[in-house]
A = this chain, B = another copy of it.
Amino acid sequence: MSLNLTRRDLARLITRIENGERGAQEALNALYPHTGRARVIGITGAPGSGKSTLVSEMARAWRLRSGLDQPQVAIVAVDPSSPFSGGAILGDRIRMRDLYGDSGIFIRSMASRGALGGIAAATADVVSALDAYGFEIVLIETVGAGQLEVDVARIAQTVIVVEAPGAGDEVQAVKAGILEIADVIAVNKADREGVAQTISALQSALDIAPANGHHGARAATELASDDGTGWRPPIVKVSALNREGIVELLAAVDTHRDYLVATGEGERRYQQRIESDIKARLRELLLQTAMRRITQIDYQAVLAAVGQRSLHPAEAALKLLDSLHL
């Protein structure tokens, strides 16, 4: 059961996962039986909602929490705009300075640089490595609001959507449609004007969601937070900068964990996570295998026909599939 992994080994492994190096898989295979102990929490929300500060404060609060044995906390900041570099890396450097000195907190930014199965698979692998290493809490922070957040929902056990009172009357999470993946909603910058409106807009959004047909869509995608067994995402007011409401936020995350265990929803999500992870990786393997076996002649002919608009891309894909004689 001994892993004998140093911090430096861990950091190197993460880099190899990011880069999609084949050698990393061997290490991941060896680690995998040691996973399953970490609590994995996703934090997402529109840019400007103050996610980074909140994540730092959550990590700090977890470290200081009484009654617990000072859990080791890892923060993974994932940049969905990869393969480009983005704001996450800079933001990370700023935060590192702040949390520097506490060896119980590990911070890492990552971007996808060709990992098999995309950034979601790479993130899952990094989380596994941190889990096996012994981090009790793994916080996944994502920048932006899009498909990646849905994929992160599959990796995390609990998803926190961060909202901040805006200049206007818009609730960003509602506008970006990411409220549906929320298990807990944190309204950050709660010292600012407009908090009451933001909370009331969020409450309304939660109220009308099922009547709005979301319920059916949720059941179909099996990502439901409100799955009929009675979980309604609590709204927690926080001010990360003033360190207010953080303890209450962690308590809400604990309550959600208890809910996952008590209802079996946690196990159900775990099974879904495995299935979608395997399929994402199989999809990439199949394409790689296919691209090696498709002849250049077939490939170029199909590209030329689509380029002249005499062949639709979907038909082109079918032709290539046929040429493989599966």
Question: Which residues of A are at the interface with B, using a C-beta cutoff of 8 A?
Answer: 25, 28-29, 32-33, 35-36, 46-48, 79-88, 91, 116-117, 119, 121, 124-125, 128, 143-150, 166-168, 170, 172, 174-178, 180, 212-214, 217-218, 220-221, 270-271, 274-275, 277-279, 281-287, 289-291, 293, 302-303, 306-307, 309-318, 320-321, 324, 326
Contacts and interface: CB of A to CB of B under 8 A. Distances in A.
A290 B170 CA distance: 44
Which of A124, A125, A277 has the most chain B CB atoms closer than 10 A to its own CB? A277
Contacts of A35: 309
Enumerate the 3 nearest inter-chain pairs by beta-carbon distance, A residue then B residue, closest first: A146-B146, A86-B177, A81-B177
Contact of A168 (B48, B146, B217): B48
A195 to B, nearest CB: 14
29 contacts: A25-B314, A32-B310, A32-B312, A46-B47, A46-B48, A48-B166, A48-B175, A80-B145, A81-B149, A81-B178, A83-B217, A83-B220, A84-B180, A84-B217, A85-B213, A116-B314, A119-B147, A143-B175, A143-B176, A144-B146, A144-B176, A146-B147, A146-B148, A274-B307, A279-B287, A279-B291, A281-B314, A286-B286, A289-B321
Interface of A is mostly: helix
